[in-house]
Structure 1
Amino acid sequence: LLSGPWPKQPMESHNLSSSSPLLSLPPSTLPASLPPSLPPLLSSTPSAFTTDLGAPGEALGSCLPASSHMVSAFLAPILGVEFVLGLLGNSLALFIFCFHTRPWTSNTVFLVSLVVADFLLIINLPLRVDYYFLHEHWRFGATICKLNLFMLSTNRSASVVFLTAIALNRYLKVVWPHHVLSQVSVWAAAKVAAGLWGSILLLNGHLLLAAYTDHSCLSYRLGAKPSASVRWHQALFLLEFFLPLALILFAIVSIGLTIWRRSLGGQAGPQRAVRMLAVVVAVYTVCFLPSVIFGLASMVAFRLRACHALAVCTQLFHGSLAFTYLNSVLDPVLYCFSSPSFLRQTRALLGLSQGWQGPASDESSYQPSARRWGTSRKAKATDKLREEVRLEGPLE
């Protein structure tokens, strides 16, 4: 499904590049000149995919979908708008988390990690806007291309990883409020986040080792005989979508069952957890599901050699990048649902409701504290003693 830039191979043809996990094909072995009777789809020079289906004679029957100027014309302005909105929203979020959120909690650590992941995308979007404005022509050289693709792929991985971490953190707070994992310190959460970042960088490091081939800044290939690097990129692309989605859905179901069993529907903490996880699922599916669907459809069409379907699916897949990059715009909305202090500070900075007050801590209402529980017991004991004194009458 996806891979990094590939080394040059004999008889290389042009390829369509993109900046988030896509499909790609090894270079085809087309003859030097194509018969004039071939349909335009096969005679187009810039293409979204190349094919390698065997001998040169077999290549004439393979699919070679052309890149679309319409897709480039669509992506260039859309990515420009996402850059502006993502920069404003995440700059505000980083300012609030760094200077106006006290004290930090484990949830804050994961939210800040998500902000950092979004900035990896934001600082690279102007290069992609220029790329699509020039109809998929890369003019910044090999090193910048590899860094661009690496940082964009890292953004996707980090986004799904820390969205999942936020969901599991809420799961622990509601379902296992007294477990040691639900009471980790900020320092422990920071070490967990650092470990996740290290793993993410290693998983995507192969993109920095790939060779730059031409002016299309390749990211993805789909082929009949993919290399070990391609197979790894394909597996990572699918795994980083379906596994986190399964964990997030598990957290939602578990929290819902816990609220029902313990009759916690009237408490603010569990209700906020459900709303936050609903937003996580919405962001997750809107941003990442389209590329997975169209990517898999392109693979199937390629294997079946359904050329028209492949051309349509690859263009839809390329256009779905607009949804993938939308995560940097939608994440600040998630912060408002996940952190009451973030919402309070945002409203105050924007002058919407300066007197509005929320919970002092993001996690204060997710579990009954020992102090609250002890206070409740003392109040009940006092009421019981007063009742006994009233029944017995005044002391002589």
Structure 2
Amino acid sequence: MALSTTSAPTNTTIWAEDQDLDHTSDSRCILDNEDWTYTVIPVYILVISVLGIVLNVFVLMVFCLHKKSCSTPEIYLSNLAAADLLLVSFLPFHAVSLSNRHNWTFGQAMCKVSYMSIIMNSFCSIYFLVLVSIDRFLALVHPLSYKRIRRSIFAKLGCLLVWILGFLFTLPALIYRELLQHNNRTLCSISNLSFTTKMTVSSVNSVFGFIIPVFIISFCTIKIIKALKNRLVHGVNAKKTDQKATTLILAVLLAFLICWVPFHLMRFLYLPHDAKIITECKTLRILYICGQICPYLAYFNSVLNPILYVVVGKNFRQKVKELFSQWNHERITTVSHTSTSTNLSRVVNHII
């Protein structure tokens, strides 16, 4: 829920992006010297887009091309990488739009799809982390009782369900987001939406897209940490694979919360603004700055995840080594086979 702005040569007018454009004059606030949002942030978006695409493609290649099948946590993490790749692939369109002071030049279809990718990433990412948290909880707290549930087939079905639900949560963007003409520019925004509808959509997204999954993740994480402590106290060692997977998952969870909690808190701050309770210029300026920083901090999570896989994930690093060894072996085999075929051909020709 970033902010959109209209600009004059010497000042900037601010309003919430999803605010009805017909009523923006009711809460105008002139902000000076905010051109950094059109210069610095687009460059930042392009950087995280390039890094995110390269790193997440690399992660997916490791998981998909490795000769061994993925474990249950790796199925969830590979789908998380796919969700991150979906997001960063569409961010360059927003960078170009922002550098043109929110003038959207890519058509209505791309307007809808690009914002749908953001919503789907936000929803799918947190629910893939819910699945992986539940998996770690079952692996460490109830390793025998729920062993059958942790089979890969159930993990894949769970991921499919998350993708379907994620798409359903993007339907408001598909239905309501459109191209609007404002101050000689084309904006990709939402207009003519009642406050009740906005509150309903925002409340549903906050409850099902943040509050409930964070509660589940927190519960599982607390139980996981307690289980690990109890094993240390009683001198019981967990399997090395479980320990490595759990360390990686906890790191990914922490990174997600650091990146996404400010974004969701900002959405709550917008409620009194949408209700026309907040109109002071100083408060609107703070909302504006938060609206420029918090979403792009959240998007950085899509770059941070694959870095964590390499830095923290010992199993992932081992998979990378094995994959490169596999490629080297195939290359050597191919070269050897080609060399043998060439030698045989020479022998045949010599005999003939």
Common fold: TM-score over 0.5: yes
Which has the higher relative contact order, 1 or 2, with Cα contacts under 8 A spaced 6 or more apart? 1
Which stretch of the first structure deviates more once superposed, 92-101 or 278-287? 278-287
Matching residue's letter, 1:16: S
Letter in 2 for 1:80: L
2:4 is the alignment partner of 1:16: yes
Aligned to 1:62: 27
In structure 2, distance between residues paired with 1:78 and 1:211: 25
Distance 1:99 1:240 in 2: 32
Q: Which residue of 2 aligns with 1:155?
A: 121
- Relative distance call for 1:348 and 1:88 in structure 2 (3 A) is farther
Distance 1:102 1:121 in 2: 28
> TM-score scaled by structure 1?
0.68
Are residue 332 (structure 1) and residue 309 (structure 2) matched? Answer: no
Cα displacement string for residues 215-272 of structure 1 (whole angstroms, at most 9, x for unaligned residues):
22126x898x514365223431354222222222211210122223343664334543
Matched with 1:256 is 225
Question: Partner amino acid for 2:75?
Answer: V
- Is 2:211 aligned against 1:242? yes
Note closer, same or farther for the CA distance 1:199–1:48 as it changes in structure 2 (3 Å cut). closer
Give the SS at the match of 1:304: coil
Residue number in structure 1 paired with 2:345: none
Secondary structure of 2:269's aligned partner:
helix
Name the amino acid aligned to 2:218: L
Separation in 2, partners of 1:264, 1:105: 27
Aligned CA distance change for structure 1 residues 229 and 49 (closer, same or farther; 3 Å): closer
Gaps of 5+ in 1: 4-14, 18-39, 355-396
Say whether 1:283 aligns with 2:271. Answer: no
Give unpaired runs (5+ residues) of structure 2.
181-185, 329-352
Structure 1 SS opposite 2:4: coil
State the 1:72 CA deviation.
2.6
How far apart are 1:155 and its partner, in Å? 1.1
Q: Distance in 2 between matches of 1:328 and 1:74?
A: 19
2:83 aligned with 1:114: no
1:101-147 CA distance string (max 9 Å, x none): 51222222211211211121121011111111212111111111011
The alignment covers a number of residue pairs equal to 310
Contact 1:48 1:64 in 2 (8 A): no
> Quick check: 2:135–2:150 contact (8 Å CA) kept in 1?
no
- Local SS of the residue matching 2:189: coil
Which of 132, 157, 163 in structure 2 is aligned with 1:197?
163
Contact kept? 1:298, 1:310, Cα under 8 Å = no
Q: 1:16-75 CA deviation, whole Å, 9 max, x = no partner?
A: 18xxxxxxxxxxxxxxxxxxxxxx9xx9556445867x9x9xx87634466943223221
Name the SS of the counterpart of 2:117 in structure 1: helix
* Bigger Cα Rg: 1
Question: Does the 8 A contact of 1:71 with 1:319 survive in 2?
Answer: no
1:304 paired to 2:278: yes
1:235 maps to a residue whose letter is V
Letter in 1 for 2:140: V
> Which structure: greater strand fraction?
2
Once the two structures are TM-superposed, the CA of residue 153 in structure 1 deviates from its matched residue by 1.0
2:173 is matched by which residue type in structure 1? Answer: L
8 A Cα contact 1:256 1:274, kept in partner: no
Counterparts of 1:46-125 in structure 2 under 5 Å?
A: 47-48=15-16, 62-64=27-29, 68-100=34-66, 102-125=68-91
- Aligned residue type for 1:297: L
